[in-house]
Structure 1
Amino acid sequence: MSAHIVSRQLLRWTLRCANRSILNQKGLVRNALPTSSRVLSSNHYQTGVQPNADTSNLKTGKELTLRSLLDMGFTDTQAEQVCDAVTKSRGHSDTALSTLTTLFVLGLNPSSVLKVLEKCPDLYRVKGAQFNQRISNLRKLGLLEGSMQRVVSYYPQILTFPMKRINNVVRFLRERCLFTFPQATDILRDSPAVVEEDLGPLEYKFQYVYFRMGVKQAEMVRSKLFRVPLEEVRCRHCFLERRGLYQTPDKKGQTLILNPKLNDILGVNEETYLAEVAMATQEEYSIFRKLMEKEWQEEEGQERDMMSGGDEEDDDEEEGEIDGYQKRRKR
């Protein structure tokens, strides 16, 4: 089914629902009607909906009714859940209806839409124009059919961030971390929560893995580095290093031992990491983790003291030359 036909059916459906009464004072109606009267079943949305369909011309109704939710393909129970969720999220009928319509046009079926909204009820309050602009922006960043659905299903919060924020993170990955555009797209697809991180700690994590571990950008992307907290990265790496199982490469990228791949270190659960990579027991790793946490706290305390009582002239000389991980290492 083409996007044009879907748009025309949605228009017909919204016109039928436009004059229905609203629920409570929020604009929602609980007129339980038989499911046999649905205009669009879930199958209409599961097949033939183009992820790239333009939703800007869809005319959404002013009211979201239980009947309209049934027409969309929700079951009676699911429709009740949506009504309750809109009320609890303090969303408005028109914005909620626009949100549902846009998610369907992305190619999600009713069950997937419900899961997305359960993960992120804030989407009920996103205005239609903002919704479409943010989706269009993500497409420009390389999230096309399949990738868009995957990201929205896994991390729907990405649609609550302003375009400027997401663009700044992608620009940071390309300019400060020297990832290529396709690599930055892969990071956004596989680790979308990166958009909510502060850029300072994000840069420190990159520089730690790049300089301290000697890992290049392509391997970082394959290992989904930005899904792993910095503390976990440092702890697993330092544990291997102190056991003689990892060595920082020299300027030519050479080591005296064969380092394990970053994905083997970070891409497995702790049990597998200890058994197959670190060759250690859980008790040994637990003790080491506690010692490392204490060590990091002492380092941070020393850094704060140096920042508060350091030589301003020396600070000026360092400014602009190094930052993030490199600055902390030099001090």
Structure 2
Amino acid sequence: MLRNVLFNVRVVLKQQNQLHRAKHLATPKILQLEQIHINEAIKLEPTLAIYSPEIWRRAHETFQNHGLETVNFLRIVTGNPAVLKRTPDKIINSLEIWRACQFGEHLLHLLLTKYPELLDITESHQLLEHIAFLKSRVSTSKNVWKLLMNSPDLIAQPEESLEEKLNYIIDVMRIEVPEIVKSASLALPFEEIRCRHQFLVRLGLFKPRPLKADPNDPTTNHKLYQITDTSEKTFATKICHVTLPEYEAFKELYTKELERQNKKSKDEEDFSDEDD
């Protein structure tokens, strides 16, 4: 089920724009849902127009009884309209699944308000296993929350993929967990993380810390979020100070280099097997 919760970039950006525009719908001090709030929400997400006032009232009351204020409710339903038609029991079940992750009520509400599609997850066992894996790598529940706030698609990524990326960032780039959780680096494919890092290394713009160095010691390296949380054009021009075509040319050459290395390794293995 977790892998079925897909985070299409365009959809998420559209929803974030809606949530930003929805800030004027209500303030945290407003307790009751008024028709004016519903009308404004429908302007942002026209598909909400099919639901009756009773369905709006029922859903709002359910969220409110579980600590989410009117403003949070409106942002959730404009971001994930399907939530509105769910029964109170289904809404409560979704909230309880996420409460079991132990982020705390305030942080949980921030997460679900920012990414309402997370309420589509129904498999609590799979979710808790995934959260436990992430916690084993980044130490605390709050760090897991920070990862999800930056990269909600981590929920749908296989553990093997996340492991590969984390191992590279920690062991090869030698970047510490506090810096990792401030970035959306794990949303990138492993190949892109490695390619960007190697490009910086070969330009002389990235030097890994010594193994026993104090993480608080100053470094001339760019922060991880500057390396990974940017478009290719911004990465090339602002971080690497080259043109986008130059970076694209490196990507192509680096891919071929890796293919040659893999072929050489395979040929050596085959040769070794023949000797045996």
**Shorter-chain TM-score tier:** 0.5 to 0.7
Contact 2:236 2:242 in 1 (8 A): yes
Residue 291 of structure 1, aligned match among 229, 250, 253:
253
TM-aligned CA deviation for residue 270 of structure 1? 3.6
Whole-Å separation in 2 of the counterparts to 1:108 and 1:305 = 63
Percent identity over the alignment is 21
Whole-Å separation in 1 of the counterparts to 2:50 and 2:263 = 49
Residue 117 of structure 1, aligned match among 72, 75, 80:
80
Structure 1: state its 5+ residue gaps: 1-41, 51-68, 87-93, 312-331
Cα deviation per residue 1:115-170 (whole Å; 9 max; x = unaligned)? 2125xx4x35755334223323434521533x334322332221111222221122
TM-aligned CA deviation for residue 302 of structure 1? 7.6
Residue 128 of structure 2, aligned match among 167, 175, 179:
167
Q: 1:85 to 1:284 in 2, by over 3 A?
A: farther
Higher RCO by CA contacts (8 Å cutoff, separation 6 or greater): 2
Match for residue 47 of structure 2?
81
* Aligned residue identity for 1:199: E
Contact 1:228 1:266 in 2 (8 A): yes
Structure 2 matches for 1:123-134, cutoff 5 A? Answer: 123=83, 127-134=87-94
Cα deviation per residue 1:262-312 (whole Å; 9 max; x = unaligned)? 23322344444333431212121011122234445566778899999998x
Residue 228 of structure 2, aligned match among 263, 266, 290:
266
The question of 1:47 aligning with 2:29 is answered yes
Structure 2 matches for 1:229-244, cutoff 5 A? Answer: 229-244=189-204
SS of residue in 2 equivalent to 1:222: coil
Normalising by structure 1, we get a TM-score of 0.57
* Aligned residue identity for 1:115: T
* Aligned residue identity for 1:289: K
Match for residue 16 of structure 1?
none
Whole-Å separation in 2 of the counterparts to 1:77 and 1:222 = 31
Whole-Å separation in 2 of the counterparts to 1:215 and 1:258 = 13
SS of residue in 2 equivalent to 1:74: helix
Contact 1:165 1:195 in 2 (8 A): no
Q: 1:99 to 1:303 in 2, by over 3 A?
A: farther
Residue 217 of structure 1, aligned match among 166, 173, 177:
177
Residue 237 of structure 2, aligned match among 253, 261, 275:
275
Q: CA RMSD in A?
A: 4.2
Who wins on radius of gyration, i.e. which is larger? 1
Bigger Cα displacement from structure 2, 200-209 vs 272-281: 272-281
* Aligned residue identity for 1:291: L
The question of 1:187 aligning with 2:147 is answered yes
| Poorly superposed stretches of 4+, deviation over 4 Å | 69-73, 83-86, 94-101, 124-127, 295-311
TM-aligned CA deviation for residue 237 of structure 1? 0.6
Q: 1:102 to 1:195 in 2, by over 3 A?
A: farther
Contact 1:209 1:215 in 2 (8 A): yes
Structure 2: state its 5+ residue gaps: 1-24
Structure 2 matches for 1:130-141, cutoff 5 A? Answer: 130-140=90-100, 141=102
Query: What is the count of residue pairs matched by the alignment?
Result: 239
Whole-Å separation in 2 of the counterparts to 1:299 and 1:125 = 54
Whole-Å separation in 2 of the counterparts to 1:48 and 1:72 = 12
Q: 1:211 to 1:107 in 2, by over 3 A?
A: same
Contact 1:191 1:224 in 2 (8 A): yes
Whole-Å separation in 2 of the counterparts to 1:302 and 1:96 = 63
